[in-house]
Amino acid sequence: MSHLPEGPGPDLARAHGWDRPVPRLPEDELPAYAGELTWCKRPRITATSELVRRRPDVVVVGVPFDDGVSHRPGARLGPRAIRGATSTNGDYSLALDIEPFRILDVVDVGDVDIIPAWPGRSHAVTYQRMRDFLDSGAVPMVLGGDHSITWPVVSAIAAHAWPARVAMIHFDAHADTADDEQGVRTGHGTPMRRLIESGAIAGPALVQIGLRGYWPPPAVFDWMRAQGMRWHPMTEIEARGIDAVVDDAITEALQHADRIYVSVDIDVVDPGMAPGTGTPEPGGLLARELLRAIRRIALAAPLAGLDVMEVSPPWDHAEVTAMLAHRCVLEAVSGMAVRRREGHDRSTTIDRSALAGVSAP
Ligand SMILES: [Mn+2]
């Protein structure tokens, strides 16, 4: 021991200049990759009583559930991946020239307490937690999870809104209007049918964008027609462009309700830009078309909520799908912030000037 050099003594920090004052960062200013994993570094608040007292404008909630999938699993890992897939905390939108979190109080309420392999309980607890969030006055943004979750989520929104009605614009490669899949009526191919059957969403108020591929069969489309549903298949977007189709969808939705719920199955986007999903279908939207469409809807009408579903991280590459899902929520929040800033966040008329703004270069 005696051959060791003398110890550093008490002034090592001074020797390196480490004793000088340095700026310290609060949690919400940490780099996106550091600190607690919440969406856009928003505060995490899970207690219903605190939410009801705070009355946030928007809550972001994860539903890590994929017991309803028919093909590739993995969407239960979606909420965690979506929260983490960002290089920025989203403080300023270039497209909309707004700092959304200066306008709106947005909080992350964590994940619904799912028990795996118990789908009936998962749907029930999702419905119950949604009612809690809605009682706080917030607009919910849901990170999925498979698309069966939209059934309890939108049921809760419809029940909360009653007697006012809610319309839905549904982006998806698939109609999700089957009566059953192999006899199962609560999987991810059936939620839109359940919502129409229960009256949660009126048939004519459910407008779909992006359908393509080889499912469902003609009999299901006959049922959809009989409900008065409207849908805009991918072939129509190819011919007319996304803006014209989205404007029509907004007009159709607002014929039947004052507020629009937006349900996004990430497989509406081409698998080349959203590979991390369970039932990919080639030939879909561009990522930028989906983000532009969500901005357009959020600017045009009050949102009743939004979900982004079917993100399956095990099938993703370089987080491209999770990043896109993250931005779907951020574009909606930014659009809502514009409406709040302009003082018409509860207006039911389409703001054509705002739409024109989106179209500007
Ligand atoms: Mn779907």
Say how many Å lie between the CA of residue 333 and the centre of ligand 1: 22
Is the pLDDT at 49 greater than 90? The verdict is yes
pTM of the model: 0.94
Distance in Å, CA 340 to ligand 1 centroid:
30
pLDDT at res. 1: 55
Q: Residue 357: which pLDDT band, with cuts at 50, 70 and 90?
A: very low
pLDDT at 283: 98
Q: Provide the strand spans (E) within the chain.
A: 58-63, 106-111, 139-144, 166-171, 206-209, 230-232, 259-265, 303-309
What digits encode the pLDDT tens for the residues 156-173?
A: 999 999 999 999 999 999
Cα–chain center distance at 125: 19
% of the chain exceeding 90 in pLDDT: 89
Under 8 Å CB-to-CB from 146, ≥6 apart: which residues? 65, 66, 67, 68, 69, 75, 188, 278, 309, 310
Ligand 1 centroid to Cα of residue 244, in Å, is 23
Structure-block tokens of residue 106: 């947005």
Q: What is the predicted pLDDT for the residue at 340? A: 96
Q: How far does residue 147's CA lie from ligand 1's centre (Å)?
A: 5
pLDDT at 9: 74
| Pairwise CA distance, residues 286 & 131, whole Å | 34
- DSSP three-state, residue 27: helix
pLDDT (tens digit per residue) in 303-343 = 999 999 999 999 999 999 999 999 999 999 999 999 999 98
CA of 71 to the centre of ligand 1 (A): 12
CATH of domain 42-359: 3.40.800.10
In angstroms, what is the span from residue 47 Cα to ligand 1's centroid? 30
Q: How far is the CA of 192 from the centre of ligand 1 (A)?
A: 9
What pLDDT score does 352 carry?
47
State how far the alpha carbon of 196 is from the alpha carbons of 41, 185, 241, in Å. 36, 13, 28
Beta-bridge mates of residue 206: 168
| pLDDT for 96 beyond 70 | yes
Per-residue pLDDT at 359 exceeds 90: no
pLDDT score of 11: 84
Give SS3 for 32: coil
Q: Which of 175, 171, 181, 214 is nearest to 196 (CA)?
A: 175
What pLDDT, on a 0 to 100 scale, did the predictor assign at position 347? 61
Structure confidence at residue 59 (pLDDT): 98
Determine the distance separating the centroid of ligand 1 and the alpha carbon of 175, expressed in angstroms: 7
Question: Which strands make up the sheet holding 139-144, listed edge to edge?
Answer: 106-111, 58-63, 139-144, 303-309, 259-265, 166-171, 206-209, 230-232
Q: What's the pLDDT band for 361 if we cut at 50, 70, 90?
A: very low
Kindly tell me if the per-residue pLDDT of 355 is higher than 60. no
pLDDT at position 86 is 97
**Which pLDDT belongs to residue 8?**
72
* pLDDT for residue 2: 59
Judged against a pLDDT cut of 70, whether residue 260 lies above it is answered with yes
CA of 279 to the centre of ligand 1 (A): 9
State the pLDDT at residue 346.
62
351 pLDDT higher than 60 = no
Q: Where are the domains of the chain?
A: 42-359
Task: Answer yes or no: is pLDDT of 4 > 80.
Answer: no
Query: Does the pLDDT value for residue 197 go beyond 90?
Result: yes
Judge whether residue 36 has pLDDT over 60: yes
